[in-house]
Chains A and B, each alone.
Chain A
Amino acid sequence: MNEQHESGSFLVEMRGISKSFPGVQASDGIDLRLRYGEVLALLGENGAGKSTLMNILSGLYRPDSGEILVGGRHVTISGPRDAAALGIGMVHQNFMLVDTMTVTENVVLGIRDLAFIPDMAEIKRGILELSERYNLKVEPDAFIWQLSVGEQQRVEILKLLYRNAEILILDEPTAVLTPQEAQELNHVVKRMKGEGKSAVFITHKMEEVMSFSDRVMVLRKGKVVAGKDTKDTNPRDLAKLMVGREVLFQLDRKPFAPGSTVLELRDVCARDERGLPALSGVSFMIRAGEILGIAGVAGNGQRELSEVITGLRKASSGSISINCVDFTGKSPLEIIRSGVSHIPQDRIAVGAVGDMSVANNIAMKGYRSKPLSFAGMLRPRKILELARKMIDSFRISTPSPETRVKFLSGGNIQKTILAREIESCEALLIAVYPSRGLDIGATEAVRKELIAQRESGRAVLLISEDIDELVTTCDTIAVFFEGRVMGIMPAAGAEIEEIGLLMAGVKPGTEASA
């Protein structure tokens, strides 16, 4: 009797869930309990098994063993359909949207009791009503390929709302969003919680954990290492639980001693895809041994800036020189040859070959020359050696260097690309949002690595939306707004408020926004 009441008080109970993939035990006897109306934050390093566990709950993966109870009753979830019938809805780590279909079509795709000939006008009305109620602006007739990342995430949330899911699983929904968009999304989650829905929220961002989760569960290597009420914990403890060691939020660095100019931009202008000005008269320089940070709300020309420097986009005017040689209008290969490395924004799509091994992905840039190849022949042993070193120093969690990249967890794919680009850097490293989607330990490792590059005399351009990251990592900060440099200042002693104002387009001393 008592026993029954116990289990009845949990909305979801997963008991002893295990799941292995070739070479990895992704879940190892995990117990998870979700109470009615609570938000459970699920934390863990990249590759800890968070997505795997939630994919099991949403029916995409079958567990090797273990049982699941929903509302106190044993259930078998043999596919997403069963999960949907139980009121479980998931926003996946990578978007689950059909690009060539409209927002409306995506929202209703797969709904079981949809009429055979759906009344699209009616459905659209429903979507608009939801989007108004939750303040999630969408255009129901737009195609997914026309939407920005933030808009696509809104569609994902609308899918859950439209289906009336009661158990929400959100797998790093804010990892790809700008801080503003993330805020919006967090409001929606709070709102849904207020309506009595329950959620499992996966994130690497501590503010999110602290601000609206009720409980926290930490996974490490497929096992539960802690479960606590949020109010009984703090970010530092959680970080330690996740990584298994103390995480330093402070970074050691030598004093700033810049050398000769490595990159210089003079009055660079460029246009975006629609032909609108994306960069207007951008000028700055980075010297050897300097990390220059670009602060700014995403979409203010950062991506175009990195593309112009790497030769992927043409500058419409102005000049770019690397080590005092003019590189304006040169091809990406010529620019790579001059010693420039690039960690792109959309690294999963353009940065890695999913069907190739981790080792080959790491070697992809250096394979043309010694030591990875000799007389046109690849040297597998050297490649493996390099790969092992990288896997170690970037803590890439992979069964082996020979595992194909597509089998890694989201964060570990990123680390693989980071490892390659940082390793192959000779003169200038351009890092665009390098810590997006990375766990705390990996974020720390990346920042350390950027500083190591600086210490060995290279120039680093760091584009980030995270002001804390910029202030702790950079020597100099340039603030971007609408494709213009609003101001350049030393990072040491920079006022976060001032940077924030410049990012919003407000020059100090003036009142109106530019």
Chain B
Amino acid sequence: MIGLISSILTITLRAGTSLVYATIGEIFTERGGILNLGLEGIMLMGAVTSFAVSYYTHSLPLALLAAVLVGAALSAIHAFLTITMRANQVVSGLSITLFGSGFASFLGQRLGPATNNHRLVGLVGAKFESFRIPVLSDIPIVQSIVSQDILTWGIYLLIPLAWFYLYRTRAGLSLRAVGENPQTADAMGVDVFRLKYAYTISGGMLVALGGAHLSLSYTPGWSENITGGRGWIVIALVIFSMWNPARAIWGALLFGGINAVQFRLQASGTNIPAGFLNMLPYIMTIVVLVLITWWEALSKKVGAPAALGQAYMREDK
């Protein structure tokens, strides 16, 4: 029994890792008042480029670097369109997702070696391995937490750091003000324009890292639509987390956990249709999130950054 729980927890954390990166990335972007619906596209692009680089160079650091750069580039486009050109954020974000998914799939069919028909599908590249820590890795449950690769260990660090940054530092204070009330932030001497750019781009980098985790660790290799719509789940997770990085972990664990249970069920050969089981994590996540968020929004005065989605210009009221 302990063994079963332990293995489910292991998969849960692994499945949740990419979601944590993407959720925290999007939280930072939205805290600056920019809604980036391009994250599904950015995750896919992060996954395909990092896998291609890992295949050719066998260097995982380079693979991560590639993903981060691609994430930065795509979100810089979003930043330019919405902050400088003041385009509609939803339209710009959706365009990035459309472009990103299409282009990722295109790259998946072109970047591979001639021997594989120029495809990336089915190839094996460098991938992240789980650590084995003496003693700890032999204790059930504890083992699920410590016997993970460096990307999952990364979220153990990222979550508290992101929380601390947002709520305890000068920079976090400015960031929160920008998303809540850019007029005020501006009048108080915060460089609204620069911060919006900075957090849209750095948020996009984290999102791409989430994509890289999928192709370098969770399901190593490239396959069409490797994200399985995780980009959209992240949008829901951001709301569920109430834009608080510390809460991002719970949503990620929820989705990851249902995923893990569903794997177990499929592996044990139930006669529940596979399609239904595959659907389960999405349905359950959405239902639970809606219920919890609804209940909490009623009881507390927390919500989306007040100026989320709005363009800001100094002399235009």
Chain A positions near chain B (C-beta within 8 angstroms): 21, 58, 60-62, 79-81, 84, 90, 92, 96-101, 105, 108-112, 114-118, 143, 145, 159, 354, 406-407
Contacts and interface: CB of A to CB of B under 8 A. Distances in A.
Contacts of A118: 169-170, 173
A429 B169 CA distance: 51
A96 B169 contact: no
A145 B301 CA distance: 10
B190 interface: yes
Contact of B180 (A90, A101, A116): A101
B187 A114 contact: no
Interface in B118-173: 168-171, 173
B189 interface: yes
Contact of B187 (A21, A62, A92, A108): A92
B188 A115 contact: no
B200 interface: no
B169 A98 contact: no
B172 to A, nearest CB: 10
Contacts of A81: 189, 191
B171 A116 contact: yes
A407 B317 contact: yes
A462 to B, nearest CB: 30
Nearest to A145: B301
Nearest to A114: B170
Nearest to A110: B188
Contacts of A98: 176-177, 180-181, 184-185
Contacts of B169: 116-118
A62 B190 CA distance: 17
Contacts of B317: 354, 406-407
Contacts of A105: 173
Interface in B220-277: none
Please list the 10 inter-chain residue pairs (A to B) with the smallest Cβ-Cβ separation, ordered nearest first: A110-B188, A110-B189, A81-B189, A96-B184, A96-B187, A110-B190, A80-B189, A406-B317, A98-B181, A109-B188
21 contacts: A21-B315, A60-B187, A61-B315, A79-B189, A80-B187, A81-B191, A84-B189, A96-B183, A96-B184, A99-B181, A100-B176, A100-B302, A100-B306, A108-B173, A110-B174, A110-B185, A115-B170, A116-B171, A117-B168, A118-B170, A118-B173
Contacts of B190: 109-110
A97 B189 contact: no
Contacts of B173: 101, 105, 108-109, 118
How would you classify the secondary structure of chain A's contact residues: helix, strand, loop or mixed?
A: loop
A98 B186 CA distance: 12
**Residues of B in contact with A, size category:** 20 to 34
Given A110-B174, A117-B169, A97 B187 contact: no
Q: Which of A58, A84, A96, A114 has the most CB of B within 10 A?
A: A96
Contacts of B183: 96
Contact of A99 (B170, B189, B306, B314): B306
A140 B80 CA distance: 38
Contacts of A84: 189
Contacts of B176: 98, 100-101
Contacts of B189: 79-81, 84, 110-112
A145 B180 CA distance: 13
Nearest to B186: A80
A62 B314 CA distance: 10
Nearest to A113: B170
Contacts of A114: 170
Nearest to A97: B184
A143 B184 CA distance: 16
Contact of B170 (A79, A116, A145, A354): A116
A105 B168 CA distance: 10
A80 B180 contact: no
A237 to B, nearest CB: 34
Contacts of A92: 187
Q: Which of B171, B174, B184, B191 has the most CB of A within 10 A?
A: B184
A60 B171 CA distance: 21
B177 A109 contact: yes
Given A80-B187, A84-B189, A109 B168 contact: no
Nearest to B193: A79
Nearest to B303: A100
A63 to B, nearest CB: 11
A111 B173 CA distance: 11
Nearest to B178: A98
Interface in B185-212: 185-191
Contacts of A143: 301
A110 to B, nearest CB: 3
Contacts of A96: 181, 183-184, 187-188
A469 to B, nearest CB: 30
A422 to B, nearest CB: 25
A96 B184 CA distance: 5
A60 B189 CA distance: 10
B314 A60 contact: yes
Nearest to A107: B188
Nearest to B305: A100
Nearest to B302: A100
Q: Which of A79, A81, A90, A159 has the most CB of B within 10 A?
A: A79
A79 B181 CA distance: 17
Contacts of B177: 98, 101, 109-110
Contacts of B180: 98-101
Contacts of B186: 60, 79-80
Nearest to A83: B189
A79 B187 CA distance: 8
Given A60-B314, A117-B169, A354-B317, 10 more contacts: A61-B314, A79-B191, A80-B186, A81-B191, A90-B187, A92-B187, A96-B183, A96-B184, A110-B189, A112-B189
